[in-house]
Amino acid sequence: WIVAVAILAHTASASVREYHWEVEYKFGFPDCKEGMVMAINGKFPGPTIHALAGDTIVVHLTNKLTTEGLVIHWHGIRQLGSPWADGAAGVTQCAITPGETFTYRFTVEKPGTHFYHGHYGMQRSAGLYGSLIIDAAKGKREPLRYDGEFNLLLSDWWHESILSQELGLSAKPMRWIGEAQSILINGRGQFNCSLAAQFSNATAQFSNTSLPMCKFKKGDQCAPQRLHVQPNKTYRIRLASTTGLASLNFAVQGHKLMVVEADGNYITPFATSDIDIYSGESYSVLLTTDQDPSQNYWISVGVRGRKPKTPPALTVLHYVTAPSSQPPSSPPPETPRWNDFDRSKSFSRKILAAMGSPPPPRKFKKRLILLNTQNTIDGATKWALNIVSLVVPATPYLGSVKYRLRRGFDRKSPPTTFPVDYDIMNPPRNRNTTKGNGIYVFPFNVTVDVILQNANGLDANASEIHPWHLHGHDFWVLGYGEGKFRPGVDEKTYNLKNPPLKNTVALFPYGWTALRFVTDNPGVWFFHCHIEPHLHMGMGVVFAEGLNRIGKIPDEALGCGLTKQFLMNRNNP
């Protein structure tokens, strides 16, 4: 990993870490096949930001793309006092136009494993992402003990360009993007070859023919980065998933993983042989190198939740006491069955808050029940919430609410629930939906419950996993359930003792997930499915809170749509 050089300005207790980034396309070989990648200062993935809790991050971001806008979302950072820096195009800012520079400035509150990524169109799937690691403030110690650490950013990779994918998703009829060609670990994967080709069963299910052994030359961009470890040590492995589509499973051959952090929050540690990780999630696991030190071991990242047509990504845990060139002596770990959702739910229910974590409020003030459906509009396939498919307006919501621009978006709130007789187990009787850009407005500092309700898609016997991500907040995950949520009944099953704080959570097929958060962060915040094509097809809503408490917004964040003319009139009376 290459860490961008930061200009540090020290204060008594914290630092300002300043970066100058340029984003442009370049040719690269993420999976040994040449393609276009989005690079930051020529690097793919982008530079890792390392900071301490309490530091201020300043990123001067220059768009050197020739025909596309650009923003970067700082995934997992709450943006207290800086909602305009959240990096959600059309929600908190205008897209940065080609040739322009925009400056993000925000403070990072607490230690955690996070990442950043593009949030305009489907640029995340083009490779616009990198890691954001926050360590404990100077003089403070994390409640974790380990001898070294590794940072693994997991992603999926298509050979088709994102512009072609976007066109296909909007076509009538829709042209689905299909499964990814490769899974990448730190931007590196292998297409049409295998690190484990000597084990014939390792790749047979993903190819009509046995894949050949990968052969790398010095400097190959797709050669895996091995993890070099010493025997009898404990290592922290930071994991983050920036996938566009795939849910993943991470395993290290022969080693137990102790899960200690989820989405930047400490959890009650638990041991597992493998870990499910959905798009938008991050974890830390502790691994102890207590196996035969004369051997090397596979690290495997396979697809879960979708019928796998993409081979697992592989790299090697290399004990420095073993020969460097020696491959592991047995096949890689087998990824659990893709549709074993009971296994997936069992893992999710093991994630509980660490002792001393803030408990949730006992009761809610407002509640939304959001039905996730697949529908059509004039022959185009869409995703919708309560039968409304989101279309983000030309004027960013943050500018419209700050400057009271009534025409910026539909001021009528979207539905807060769905008809009680809706059949979630079968395709919708009415396949049609409507477009909308209304938002949910909440008072400041109230407790809100959100019930995510899954349903059958347009095809029979098809209900998908949806990882939901909330900007500007962590939320408590109160519980999961099967079938249709029953108000007045299912609340009795909530975990109010030690629910985990997260910013991304899975909604399982034909079930519901219950969340609780407090509207304590003035601003306008995106809440959406983190699967790129689903968001592109309308699977999101927008929350607004504390609108009279929103502070000053830099003019350059809002130089488009109705806010552009408003600012021109205000600055030139």
pLDDT in tens, 277-331: 999 999 999 999 999 999 999 999 999 999 989 999 999 999 999 998 899 999 9
Task: Give the burial string for 412-443 (b: 16+ CB within 10 Å, else e).
Answer: eebbebbeeebebeebbeeeebeebbbbbebe
pLDDT in tens, 521-548: 999 999 999 999 999 999 999 999 999 9
Is a pLDDT exceeding 50 seen at residue 4?
Answer: no
Integer-rounded Cα radius of gyration of the chain: 23
Which residue pairs, CB below 8 angstroms and at least 24 apart, start in 141-145? 142/111, 143/266, 143/354, 144/236, 144/260, 144/261, 144/284, 144/286, 145/234
Q: Which sign does the torsion angle of CA 265, 273, 154, 291 carry?
A: positive
Domain 366-567 CATH class label = mainly beta
From residue 255, how far is each of 252, 300, 451 by CA, in Å?
6, 12, 37
State the pLDDT confidence band at 81, using cuts at 50, 70 and 90: very high
| CA geometry: angle 287, 155, 26, nearest 5 deg | 130
- DSSP for 160-209? S-HHHHHHHHHSSS-----S-SEEEETTB--SS-BTTTTSGGGTGGG-SS
Contact 262, 280 (CB under 8 A): no
Is a pLDDT exceeding 70 seen at residue 207?
Answer: no
- Which residue(s) pair with 227 in the sheet? 317
CATH T-level fold of 16-142: Immunoglobulin-like (2.60.40)
Selected residue with higher pLDDT from 217 and 8: 217
Average of pLDDT values for 348-373? Answer: 97
Q: Which residues contact 520 (CB under 8 A, 6 or more apart)?
A: 444, 445, 545, 546
Where are the chain's structural domains? 16-142, 149-353, 366-567
Domain 149-353 CATH class label = mainly beta
Tokens of 504: 């991304």
What is the pLDDT at residue 6?
41
CA 457 to chain centre: 23
Same fold across 149-353 and 366-567: yes
- DSSP for 382-413? EEEETTEEE---SS-HHHHHHTT-GGGS--SP
